[in-house]
């Protein structure tokens, strides 16, 4: 299966939501109190650099990730001169990927995505990736995924994150876009 650059870019946005670094997300939770307050309420990472490589292509883009703890994540992908060409809006229940370039969007639950992507995707891992809280604690993350028989590698270079700053999330009016099934998009 040959993936074009826009499909690779869409996968890049979706791959920001999953990785093989589940140790922290799934690890021993017995020492963490359920009532413990999070160390942050909002997180903003601007100017992260994401590179997606497949056997056929390699695409890099600037990425901004805005997170409201346990509530919402907005990932903006800007490959050209700061123009947002792709956006992913996620909640703990669903993911909406918006392809502004082609005027389309797709909604999916995590179960829908997990039918197509390996390893599986969940809210906790997505939140860790979008706040730079990966178990290695490095400024760079390397994530591997498969989509069908295609191996996809995502590398994210993180700049400094800003905690508890106001995040401005402009909701996109989806009526301007055509809804497509996630399986047709990917």
Give yes or no for a cis peptide into 55 (omega within 30° of 0): no
CB-based contacts of 170, cutoff 8 Å, min separation 6: none
Q: For residue 64, how far is the Cα from the chain centroid? A: 10
pLDDT for 38 equals 61
Over range 112-132, report the average pLDDT.
88
Block residue for tokens 């690779």: 8
Q: Which residue has the higher pLDDT, 100 or 2?
A: 100
What count of other Cβ atoms lies within 10 Å of the Cβ of residue 100?
17
Give the residue-averaged pLDDT of 91-95.
95
Q: The pTM is what? A: 0.78
DSSP string, 24-86: HHHS--TTS-TTPPPS-SEEEEEEEEEEEE-SS-EEEEEEEEEEETTTEEEEEEE-BTTB--E
Q: Answer yes or no: are the C-beta atoms of 1 and 150 closer than 8 Å.
A: yes
Please name each of the domains of the chain with its CATH number. Answer: 5-21+40-163 (2.50.20)
pLDDT tens-digit map of 12-70: 554 444 443 333 333 343 444 444 556 789 999 999 999 999 988 999 999 999 999 99
């Amino acid at each position: 299966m040959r993936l074009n650059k826009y499909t690779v870019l869409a996968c890049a946005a979706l791959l920001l939501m999953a990785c093989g670094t589940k140790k922290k997300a799934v690890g021993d939770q017995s020492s963490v109190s359920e009532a413990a307050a999070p160390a942050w309420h909002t997180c903003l990472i601007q100017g992260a650099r994401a590179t997606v490589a497949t056997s056929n292509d390699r695409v890099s883009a600037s990425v901004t990730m805005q997170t409201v703890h346990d509530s919402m994540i907005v990932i903006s992908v800007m490959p050209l001169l700061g123009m947002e060409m792709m956006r992913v809006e996620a909640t703990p229940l669903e993911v909406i990927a918006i392809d502004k370039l082609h005027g389309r969007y797709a909604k999916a639950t995590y179960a829908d995505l997990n039918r197509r992507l390996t390893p599986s995707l969940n809210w906790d891992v997505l939140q860790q990736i979008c706040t730079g809280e990966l178990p290695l604690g490095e400024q760079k993350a390397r994530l591997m995924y498969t989509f069908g028989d295609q191996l996809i590698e995502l590398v994210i270079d993180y700049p400094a994150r800003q905690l508890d700053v106001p995040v401005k999330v402009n909701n996109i009016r989806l009526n301007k876009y055509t809804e497509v099934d996630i399986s047709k998009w990917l």
